[in-house]
Amino acid sequence: MLDVSSIDLTAPEPTFELREVKQPLALATTRYQNWREATGHLPVGITVGRPRFVRFSYETIPALAPFELMRGPLAKVNDVAIERKVYFARLKVYESEILAALQELARRYPDTPAALMCFEDVNGGEACHREWAAEWFGKRFGWTVPELPDPADAAPRAARKPTAQKPDTLF
């Protein structure tokens, strides 16, 4: 796991120097709930844990999982700007491992595009590390990594349980 104490969380978001790297396989992103075999994409999980509801097998790229945002001192942070900085720092540190994992997938599944999957509904407006990974692939390597459209038979997003507001107090 990345040492988050070395990241200046008050600094501006990092910029990325474009590096010419041939894209080993076509990539897209989607949520676990939206992946369908009919798309022809290899499902690839990029999450810290395995979702209980998933009944299909999939590959994983742990280097793309946001461990620092799920465990340790930043696990309870709810600030997209900070989360982005931490995740981009992770991508910088694990860049060679990420590229090696993608090359290995391309070797094992020739001519098969991959769908990088996590939980958030980015088509519904939620911020998510998979869209930040897609952004990083574009800025760092010049690759285009689109979000797959929601399938017609996708289940509607479950409503989140409301959280109680703390009452105002005089003390």
pLDDT one-digit tens code per residue, 71-113:
888 888 889 999 999 999 999 999 999 999 999 999 999 999 9
pTM of structure: 0.86
Pairing state of beta strands 42-45 and 114-118? parallel
> Which of the two residues, 146 and 168, has the higher pLDDT score?
146
Note whether 3 and 112 are within 8 A (CB): no
Specify the DSSP element, H or E, that contains 27.
strand 27-31
Sign of CA dihedral 97, 66, 4, 91: positive
Q: How does residue 15 score in pLDDT terms, banded at 50, 70 and 90?
A: very high
